[in-house]
Chains A and B, each alone.
Chain A
Amino acid sequence: MKNSVQREGLEALDAVDTAALPEAARPIKPGLRINVRGRSVNLRGMRKPPKGILLWFAVLGPGLIATSAGNDAGGIATYSQAGAKFGYQLIWVMVILTVSFGVVQEMCARLGAATGRGLLDLIRERFGIGWALFAVVVILVANGGVTVSEFVGIGAAMELLGVSKYIAVPLGAVFIWYLVIFGSYARVEKFLLLMTLVFFAYPIAAIMAKPDWSAVARGAFIPTLNSDPAYLFLVVGLLGTTITPYIQIFQQSSLVEKGVARRHYGTERIDAYFGAVFSNLMSISMIIATAATLYVVGQREIASAADAARALEPVVGSAARVLFGIGLLGATLLAGAVLPLATAYAVSEAFGMPKGVNLDFRRGRVFFSLFTALIVLGVVLALIPGIPVMKLLVGVQVLNGLLLPIILVFILLLINDKSLTKELKNTRLNNAMGIGTLLLITTAVLVMIGGQLIEWLGQK
């Protein structure tokens, strides 16, 4: 931009006194803008500015949203399982993942700012319809799985609160469906977010349970390998639940929706890393809290939500079940609404299906059926009698871990396409870390698949 004004055609006209000009750029004031041109009145606006406690949320930005989205039923189950089964041993995975997660999140944010388009859009435009369809299938499988796990989570949470899941899950589904389609979702969302604040009890629990801090430090910085196939299974689960394909799509689209342009890309970088550190600290505290309460007393398997809730006992005592239930309900309802919504939106956008320009996106047929189908699928699978809840939750995260490398390859290819990202292209360091993450995840996935195969063959 510099000096370019001095080009031809831009000679200064009469000199004007610019001393009265303001010294700092004004922020865009959220609010409504109406233009009366002739008789037409256009309403266009932005979300209302947050106040009070919500301002605090806003300051933390997408970081906290990513955290809340990440700490859904599957996340809690996987972290609890990791803590209960292997104590502090798996924390090192989370330490490495914090860096990887930050790098990947930042790349997605950058891709969103540089192109103004979502991930599936870019895949469609750059690699054609075949790859786009492939990516859509990957996303549908991954997100469909997570949606199921959210409804399982709703059932588990309500059972902790004393309601049968056969009543709670269909009710929850109808509630979510109605909210999104008939639209007071934005208001309820904040309430649900508040419910998830319960999970801030985890860091407190992690400290109050008086863990063996030297063991925690060893677990965090000395990688251990364990021949137990469950160990690798959980490593991939941790990968899948931390760097969910869904969060990548969400991150990129949120930058697009917020209207961050490439010239203003900057603070989002910090936001992405901050979000990664913040959310992983939460996850690590879940592992520590569970390890310090369950692992040490020899309870190595978490079979139900009630077991997982016991990790909160050092803080809230006998109220642990109820509080955990409330937090889990908030988190799962939130994710149960956002996931099908975002998936249906991203997919119909990539296919150019009608979703309207503004308010009428809900009327799009593809959008509507996808959204409804995802919810119905979630409810039906979550209500299969005798389903092993925790195993299913962790299994879905492992599935996400399996699909993650595919999405990562797309992200890396797109972010290195100079015609797309221009000056926001990956640096060598970015690429080294991105490819490192990809290799790490791919290796873990391959070793896990290999291990499972050997085990399966051994059984035969």
Chain B
Amino acid sequence: MVMLSQLLRFRIVDEHGAQAKLSDLSVALLDADHPPVTCLYFVAAQRQKCSIRWEKVRAVDWGNGVIKVDDLGAADVESDQSMAKAVLLAAGILDAMVLDLQNRRTTRANDLLLEEHEGKLLLRAADTGLGAIARRLTRGRFGPVLESALYDWTYVEFLRGDPRAVRSEEGEHLRITRLPAGEIARLTDGLPYLHAAELITLLPDPKAADTLETMGPARQLQVFEELDEVQALRLLELMAPDIAADLLGRLHPLTMRRYVEHLSRKQAERIIELLRYAEHTVGGIMTNDLVYVCGDLTIAAARDKLRVPLRNPDFVYFVYVVDDEESRGLRGAISIRDLLTAPDEKKLEEIMDPYLITLHPLEAADQGAHRVLDSHLAALPVVDDDKQLLGVVTIDAAVAQVAPRSWTAQVPRIFS
């Protein structure tokens, strides 16, 4: 067990007696839960930065702080570009912002704990305590290692703050992907937006899209604009159309147009449809990602037919019954519960709830939202003058619309 602050005072000595001071170490960050050290860096003559692979290390004398290698002269010369690609412990991770997943907060790596294990030197934990700061300031003379301040690296995510950083490895060791999307979004609130954008680029697309959806609108826009356009487009494709439309509506019109033109036809049409309505109307808060089916089908046929359409939308509690799928004239609604429990041979028309309160897309959003809340239903359908089903206003959109503004003042702001 060795702390990075101590390790950085080690010397590298070779067979011929040549020596150099260890200046940094690089790790293969996403290779394992505890990333192994890959290279040792030192400054050779003429201020040349050099590296030597960890495999070349023959022995380490921990007590005297000496790392023995075969030949220092055989080290690779590093350029600034190659240094920038490596994940360096001292230059990169030390002092940087890290996400601590166990305590769900951001913190800083005041020191790093490494451990030798089966010939490899592994990055075990980040020390976030004040002791680590004292240790570094007193050059290791004082500064106890507190167990409670050590965060196991398995549960620590390190981000560089550069969304365009090239990562060669796959991010399968990202523990953060196992958290629910909403929680990831909340965690990223404590991060600078460039770090948050980098995290989004590392997440698998579906998770990234979900996370982006749950972010606050300002943060969402900040992060989205830092993404590579190809990835941004992939995420837009996966996002709920109402949230994607809200997001796109805030971009520069030309940028928005370019994105919409490159989306799949289905998603693009949904988004265009939603963007036609002003934000203060029911149309502006509805979603048109919903499930509808013809009324003349039997329950069994409907179940069969809906297997695919029910897969993606966020809102699936109600299936809307229409007279035909082209004109989408609304006739009633049926809950998923009824769809699952009703006898197979019954027709949808027989068990659907024919009475529906509906909203008009040009109605005021506040009024529509209140009607959703008053109805105590999960959503109310939105239909136009021809009774064509356009979308639904879900309970969450309704609450967001009418929630007392005073709640919003609860978020502490210090500087603005």
Contacts and interface: CB of A to CB of B under 8 A. Distances in A.
Interface string A7-27: 101111111111011111111
A130 B405 CA distance: 44
B265 A29 contact: no
B387 interface: no
Contact of A62 (B136, B221, B409, B416): B416
B269 interface: yes
A258 B416 CA distance: 7
Contact of A357 (B104, B217, B253): B104
A352 interface: yes
A133 B95 CA distance: 12
B108 A13 contact: no
Interface stretch (B34-42, B222-230, B331-339): B222-230
A129 B261 contact: no
Give the interface SS of chain B, mostly helix, strand, loop or mixed: helix
B88 to A, nearest CB: 13
Given A21-B275, A256-B192, A43 B216 contact: no
A15 B257 CA distance: 12
A351 interface: yes
A12 B261 CA distance: 6
A115 B268 CA distance: 33
Contacts of B409: 47-48, 186-187
B64 interface: no
B2 interface: no
Interface string A133-155: 10000000000000000000000
Interface stretch (A31-39, A205-213, A230-238): A31-39
B96 A125 contact: yes
Interface string B191-225: 01111000000000000001001111111011001
B388 to A, nearest CB: 16
Interface string A180-197: 000101110000000000
A30 B401 CA distance: 11
B334 to A, nearest CB: 21
Interface in B389-408: 394-396, 399-400, 403, 405-408
Contacts, number: 231
A429 interface: no
Contacts of B256: 21, 25
Given A125-B95, A130-B137, A361 B412 contact: yes
A401 to B, nearest CB: 23
Interface in A45-65: 45-49, 62, 65
Given A259-B222, A342-B415, A354 B408 contact: no
Contacts of A26: 249-250, 279
Contact of B214 (A15, A35, A253, A338): A35
A253 B416 CA distance: 8
A48 B182 contact: no
A116 B279 contact: no
A351 B186 contact: no
Nearest to B398: A34
A88 interface: no
Contacts of A20: 272-273, 275-276
A193 B399 CA distance: 32
Contacts of A359: 410-412
Interface string A333-357: 0000010011001000011111011
B260 A133 contact: no
B229 A263 contact: no
B415 A250 contact: yes
Contact of B261 (A16, A116, A353): A16
Contacts of A18: 257, 260-261, 268, 272
A37 B182 contact: yes
Interface string B161-199: 100000000000000000011100111011011110000
B376 interface: no
B191 to A, nearest CB: 8
B400 to A, nearest CB: 5
B26 interface: no
B251 interface: yes
A261 interface: yes
B298 interface: no
Nearest to A250: B415
Contacts of B51: none
B258 interface: yes
A204 to B, nearest CB: 29
Nearest to B193: A116
Nearest to B269: A16
A42 B400 contact: no
Nearest to A33: B400
A259 B193 contact: yes
Interface size range on B against A: 35 or more
Interface in B236-281: 249-253, 255-265, 268-269, 272-273, 275-276, 279
B45 interface: no
A5 interface: yes
A31 B260 CA distance: 26
Contacts of B213: 35
Contact of A124 (B95, B130, B263, B269): B95
B110 interface: yes
B83 to A, nearest CB: 12
Nearest to A23: B253
A352 B128 contact: yes
B74 interface: no
A12 B110 contact: no
A267 interface: no
A430 interface: no
B406 A257 contact: no
Contacts of A49: 405
Nearest to A186: B409
A21 B262 contact: no
Given A22-B275, A261-B222, A36 B104 contact: no
A250 B273 CA distance: 43
A227 interface: no
A354 B96 contact: no
Contact of A338 (B97, B219, B394, B414): B414
Given A256-B415, A352-B106, A357-B189, A263 B225 contact: yes
Contact of B217 (A29, A41, A128): A29
A36 B317 CA distance: 13
A137 to B, nearest CB: 12
Contact of A31 (B136, B230, B261, B400): B400
Nearest to B217: A28
Nearest to A126: B95
Contacts of B216: 33, 44-46
Q: Which 6 A-B pairs have the closest CB atoms?
A: A352-B108, A116-B192, A45-B408, A36-B396, A254-B415, A254-B416
19 contacts: A13-B265, A16-B261, A20-B273, A20-B276, A26-B250, A35-B213, A36-B396, A37-B314, A46-B218, A116-B193, A117-B192, A133-B133, A187-B409, A253-B415, A256-B192, A259-B193, A261-B222, A351-B130, A357-B186
Given A124-B95, A125-B96, A341-B414, 7 more contacts: A10-B229, A13-B265, A62-B416, A121-B192, A130-B136, A351-B110, A357-B190
Interface of B: 95-98, 103-110, 128, 130, 133, 136-137, 161, 180-182, 185-187, 189-190, 192-195, 210, 213-219, 221-222, 225-226, 229-230, 233, 249-253, 255-265, 268-269, 272-273, 275-276, 279, 314, 394-396, 399-400, 403, 405-416
Interface of A: 1, 4-5, 7, 9-18, 20-37, 40-49, 62, 65, 115-117, 121, 124-125, 128-130, 132-133, 183, 185-187, 250, 253-259, 261, 263, 338, 341-342, 345, 350-354, 356-359, 361
